[in-house]
Structure 1
Amino acid sequence: MDQSASLSVLWRWYIYALHGYATEIIFTAMWEFVFNLNWKLMGNTSIWIMPIYGISGLVCEQIYLECSKRKLPLFARGFVYLIWTYLWEFSSGFILQQFDLCPWDYTHYDWDVMGLITLEYAPLWYLLSIIIDRYVIQYTRQLYWGPIHKDFDIADKHE
């Protein structure tokens, strides 16, 4: 009897939220290093990023499933994710901005829209969406609760 079960929506949301949170911190640390030669590698973000990335991850899952069903090529899926990313970043930022809580401000970029999105980030968002499609979503959807499979039992490796 197989007692394993796929992770619930809440657990997958949590994984996507943590992934986004960590990615944001790494990105801001690398940005500081590249542009300011800050060897401390201090990244920063806002706690608001977690629900934003968590929800986006779940939506990207649905995009992934629908695009896979339609056999849309990976390069085309990247553009679908890119459109979603800009819609979500703008709308979530707009809501947060109404309460003076938006943690990002792109007004200093040439191609910003209300300071909430910037088209300069399109190549980065596109590349990250391909990585999310190929790795994050696929591996997250493979996670499950249940007994350890014999092939992965560490105790067997030590005998």
Structure 2
Amino acid sequence: MMRKKFVACGVLGWCMEIVFTGLGSLRKNEHSLTARTSIWMFPIYGMACFLTPLCRLLRKRNFLVRGMVYTCCIFTGEFLSGSLLKRHGACPWDYSHAKYNINGVIRLDYAPLWFGAGLLFEKVVSPHSS
């Protein structure tokens, strides 16, 4: 069951990233909507399956509380995985140009996006969606 959730989270994460980077290409006036991701992102997004026990604990909480907790978890995962990959010259993202970045591996202004992503991952890993 956990393997299926890992794969589902990895694929969902990849799809979200493809849509986000594809739409982001409009800012560069690229009407081809070319998207970008990395193989590294699959296991990083897949790790959202480890939110399952947390989802059980939070299931009766308000969505704002759940979303904020998931945002913190995602920021932590992004910071740890980004720092590790950066140390080995393999980090596929670099936020050092962004105003609200931390060590170039997380962007605090992405909190609303991670809030929504956390609630989407919750739907995938929730015991009720099994």
The 2-side partners of 1:102 and 1:81 are apart by: 22
Quote the sequence identity (%): 30
The 2-side partners of 1:18 and 1:30 are apart by: 18
The 1-side partners of 2:19 and 2:101 are apart by: 23
- Secondary structure at the residue paired with 2:13? helix
How far does residue 108 in structure 1 lie from its aligned partner after superposition? 0.6
After the TM superposition, which segments of 4 or more aligned residues of structure 1 sit over 6 Å from their partners? none
How far does residue 139 in structure 1 lie from its aligned partner after superposition? 8.9
Render the CA deviation track for 1:83-109: whole Å, top value 9, x for unaligned.
101100000011111110000111011
Is the Cα contact below 8 Å between 2:71 and 2:115 reproduced in 1?
yes
In structure 1, the gaps of 5 or more residues are: 1-7, 143-159
Q: CA 1:121/1:9 → structure 2, altered by over 3 Å: closer, same or farther?
A: same
Q: Find out whether 1:52 has 2:44 as its counterpart.
A: yes
Q: CA 1:140/1:23 → structure 2, altered by over 3 Å: closer, same or farther?
A: farther
Q: Find out whether 1:36 has 2:21 as its counterpart.
A: no
Number of residue pairs the alignment of both structures matches: 130
The 2-side partners of 1:107 and 1:129 are apart by: 24
Greater gyration radius: 1
Output the aligned Cα RMSD. Answer: 1.7
